[in-house]
């Protein structure tokens, strides 16, 4: 059957040769370059319609077509589907061809194509699109990311040095909405900061990030199990998205951004080729201005622009931005010291739970926080300190013995002793003051506290008073001996806290000379050391000669 009305001329020729020239079907097929079947079909339809030769002069090609092919006339009255609209709608989540056909059928009724013809029209439309656009990307699902191979020179205004700026490019899969900016390097810090600015530009977060296999993003390129860098994965976790890099050496996996890199180069960088930039912010301001124009440029074969498609298709399906932007973090593995359960970061030491001493932990380092992870679980978090050689220790990380020791200070120990009594307070104070550093006497003080638990605070106070009254060193061992011997139960042996006066009158006996003896000896005229004074002090016994 003819698909165009220009074929009516061939049909007229077939009818002329058959009805006027009485030619065979084989000859007619050879002359008109049609098949014998087509010739037979045309002759048959003319006979069924009662059409003879010559064809009436008032019957034009349209009338002849209606007479011979009424089914084609009916088909021409069908409403053509809007394939461009279908292509955009299919990017929305859960939208299918079946759903679109049902809506089309409800709108046009008998003038609507059947489902198979509807799909055939769309398939034919897709063949007319650029090859990189044949992929159907779901709304808000993927962002394709890469660096442009073209750089932009930036001149240092003071030194005249020229430095090449790298161009970061990202594009949404469904809407082709694009982002571009300049950075100094392609290193991990610049890579992460570019992502943060990209998310802020989009105002939302896609489900999937599809980068190239650069070292800042991927530790080791692998077709089956690519592994992202720790910091990049940490950033993706913060924004609740996933990383699925393109396969190595498969640029078609990110055809959108590959083609858009060319668009950025031609529509932005090429337009800036004759301008001289003296700073990175100046260059980025120029890129941002042209980027707005690019995103608002109408599509050639699709309705709308990148910006309108993003607002209508991608943005409603994307995730909201987190409350706080990602804070850049470095990572390293460190072993928890076996002796003091600390890890070292830049010369400072941070505590971990003592139970994991000797184990490897993953340390996450930001500008303000140090975090330690053991088997995927965070076990420690500290404010970052830049003081070298010092320690930051949390009480909950310490064993009970260390914790009890750390809880006491000189002021607290003295306050505890003063509550018990004057004697205990003086003993504690003397121990704290008798050593160069207060911590050296902590063990003695804690030992006294244990004695208070064992013998009671009242007996400890009495023992301390007795030890003070008798003079000498006040040690834990001495006070413990007093308590064990029950000497604290004899208060008549001591009545005052102050040590006794420096006199020996109460302790003199026949073998001890008194002070009067030596005064008398110094006044004697005889130089002989063996001469004794005849005057014997009346308040002391007469001393005997020492042997």
Is residue 150 pLDDT above 60, yes or no? yes
Residues 254, 243: Cα–Cα separation, whole Å: 13
- Reduced to 3 states (helix: H, G, I; strand: E, B; else coil), residue 528 is coil
Distances (CA, A) of 300 to 24, 128, 256, 311, 461: 52, 12, 16, 19, 97
Averaged over 212-220, what is the pLDDT? 78
Query: Is residue 383 very low, low, confident or very high in pLDDT (cuts 50, 70, 90)?
Result: very high
Residue 231's H or E segment, with its range, is helix 230-238
- Mean confidence (pLDDT) of the chain: 79
Query: Is residue 437 very low, low, confident or very high in pLDDT (cuts 50, 70, 90)?
Result: low
The model's pLDDT over 492-505, given as tens digits with 9 standing for 90+, comes to: 554 444 444 444 44
Residue 93's pLDDT is what?
A: 64
Residue 221's pLDDT is what?
A: 57
Residue 6's pLDDT is what?
A: 54
Backbone torsions φ then ψ of 210, nearest 5 degrees: -120, 90
Residue 522's pLDDT is what?
A: 52
Is residue 165 pLDDT above 60, yes or no? yes
Percent of the chain with pLDDT over 90: 25
Is residue 176 pLDDT above 80, yes or no? yes
Residue 541's pLDDT is what?
A: 41
- For residues 4 and 460, which has the higher predicted lDDT (pLDDT)? 460
- For residues 219 and 280, which has the higher predicted lDDT (pLDDT)? 280
Query: Is residue 249 very low, low, confident or very high in pLDDT (cuts 50, 70, 90)?
Result: low
Asked which of 32-41, 249-258, 491-500 is least confident by mean pLDDT, the reply is: 491-500
293 CB-contact burial (10 Å; exposed 0-12 / middle 13-18 / buried 19+): exposed
Residue 94's pLDDT is what?
A: 65
- For residues 233 and 303, which has the higher predicted lDDT (pLDDT)? 233
Residue 31's pLDDT is what?
A: 80
Residue 141's pLDDT is what?
A: 87
The model's pLDDT over 83-129, given as tens digits with 9 standing for 90+, comes to: 888 887 887 766 788 888 888 888 887 778 888 888 888 888 887 76
* Cβ 405 vs Cβ 445: under 8 Å: no
What is the DSSP code (8-state) at residue 152?
E
Averaged over 139-144, what is the pLDDT? 87
Residue 475's pLDDT is what?
A: 83
Domain locations in the chain as residue ranges: 5-76, 83-128, 142-317, 330-397, 408-493, 510-547
- Among left, alpha and beta (phi > 0; psi -120 to 50; other), residue 95 is beta
The model's pLDDT over 332-380, given as tens digits with 9 standing for 90+, comes to: 999 998 877 899 999 899 999 989 989 999 999 999 999 999 998 999 9
Q: Tokens for 457?
A: 């605070």
Is residue 229 pLDDT above 70, yes or no? yes
Contacts of 467 (CB under 8 A, 6+ apart): 427, 474, 478, 479, 482
Is residue 132 pLDDT above 60, yes or no? no
Q: Tokens for 106?
A: 């409800």
Strands 142-147 and 162-172: antiparallel
Residue 42's H or E segment, with its range, is helix 36-48
Residues 77, 435: Cα–Cα separation, whole Å: 108
Averaged over 507-513, what is the pLDDT? 53
Residues 287, 480: Cα–Cα separation, whole Å: 83
Residue 89's pLDDT is what?
A: 80
- For residues 175 and 504, which has the higher predicted lDDT (pLDDT)? 175
4 CB-contact burial (10 Å; exposed 0-12 / middle 13-18 / buried 19+): exposed
User: What per-residue string of b and e applies to 88-114 under the rule 16 or more CB within 10 Å gives b?
Assistant: bbbbbeeeeeeebbeebbeeeeeebbe
CATH of region 142-317: 3.30.420.10
């Amino acid at each position: 059957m003819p698909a165009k009305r220009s074929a009516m001329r061939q049909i007229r020729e077939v009818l002329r040769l058959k009805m006027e020239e009485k030619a065979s079907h084989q000859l007619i097929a050879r002359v008109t370059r049609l098949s014998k079947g087509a010739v037979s079909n045309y002759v048959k339809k003319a006979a069924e319609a009662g059409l003879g030769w010559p064809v009436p002069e008032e019957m034009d090609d349209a009338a002849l077509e209606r007479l011979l092919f009424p089914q084609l006339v009916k088909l021409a009255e069908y409403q053509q589907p809007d394939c461009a609209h279908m292509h955009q709608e299919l990017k929305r989540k859960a939208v299918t061809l079946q759903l679109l056909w049902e809506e089309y059928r409800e709108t046009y009724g008998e003038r609507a194509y059947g489902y198979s013809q509807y799909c055939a029209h769309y398939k034919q439309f897709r063949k007319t699109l650029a090859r990189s656009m044949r992929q159907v990307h779901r709304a808000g699902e993927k962002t394709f990311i890469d660096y442009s191979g073209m750089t932009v020179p930036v001149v240092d205004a003071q030194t005249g040095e020229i430095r090449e700026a790298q161009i970061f490019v990202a594009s949404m899969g469904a809407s082709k909405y694009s982002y571009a900016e300049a950075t100094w390097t392609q290193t991990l810090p610049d890579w992460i900061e570019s992502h943060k600015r990209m998310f802020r530009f989009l105002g939302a977060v896609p489900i999937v990030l599809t980068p190239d296999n650069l070292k800042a993003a991927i530790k080791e390129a692998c077709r089956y199990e690519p592994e992202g860098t720790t910091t990049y994965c940490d950033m993706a976790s913060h924004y609740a998205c996933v990383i699925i890099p393109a396969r190595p050496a498969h640029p078609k996996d990110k055809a959108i951004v590959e083609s858009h890199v060319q668009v950025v180069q031609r529509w932005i960088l090429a337009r800036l080729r004759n301008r001289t930039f003296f700073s990175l912010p100046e260059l980025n301001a120029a890129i941002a201005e042209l980027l707005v124009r690019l995103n608002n440029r109408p599509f050639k074969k699709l309705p709308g622009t990148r910006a309108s498609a993003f607002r209508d298709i991608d943005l409603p399906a994307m995730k909201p931005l987190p409350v706080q932007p990602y804070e850049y973090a470095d990572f390293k593995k460190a072993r928890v010291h076996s002796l003091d359960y600390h890890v070292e970061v830049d010369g400072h030491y941070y505590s971990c739970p003592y139970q994991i001493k000797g184990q490897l932990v993953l340390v996450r380092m930001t500008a303000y926080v140090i975090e330690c992870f053991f088997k995927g679980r965070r076990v420690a978090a500290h404010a970052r300190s830049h003081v070298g050689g010092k320690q930051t220790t949390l009480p909950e990380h310490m064993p009970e013995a260390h914790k009890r020791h750390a809880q006491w200070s000189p002021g607290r120990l003295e306050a505890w002793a003063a509550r018990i009594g004057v004697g205990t307070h003086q003993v504690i104070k003397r121990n704290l003051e008798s050593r160069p550093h207060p911590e050296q006497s902590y063990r003695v003080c804690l030992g006294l506290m244990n004695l208070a638990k064992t013998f009671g605070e009242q007996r400890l106070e009495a023992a301390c008073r007795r030890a003070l009254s008798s003079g000498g060193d006040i040690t834990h061992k001495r006070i413990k001996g007093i308590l064990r011997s029950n000497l604290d139960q004899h208060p008549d042996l001591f009545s005052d806290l102050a040590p006794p006066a420096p006199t020996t009158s109460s302790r003199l006996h026949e073998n001890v000379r008194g002070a009067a003896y030596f005064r008398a000896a110094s006044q004697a005229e005889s130089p002989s050391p063996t001469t004794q004074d005849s005057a014997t002090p009346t308040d002391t016994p007469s001393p005997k000669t020492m042997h």
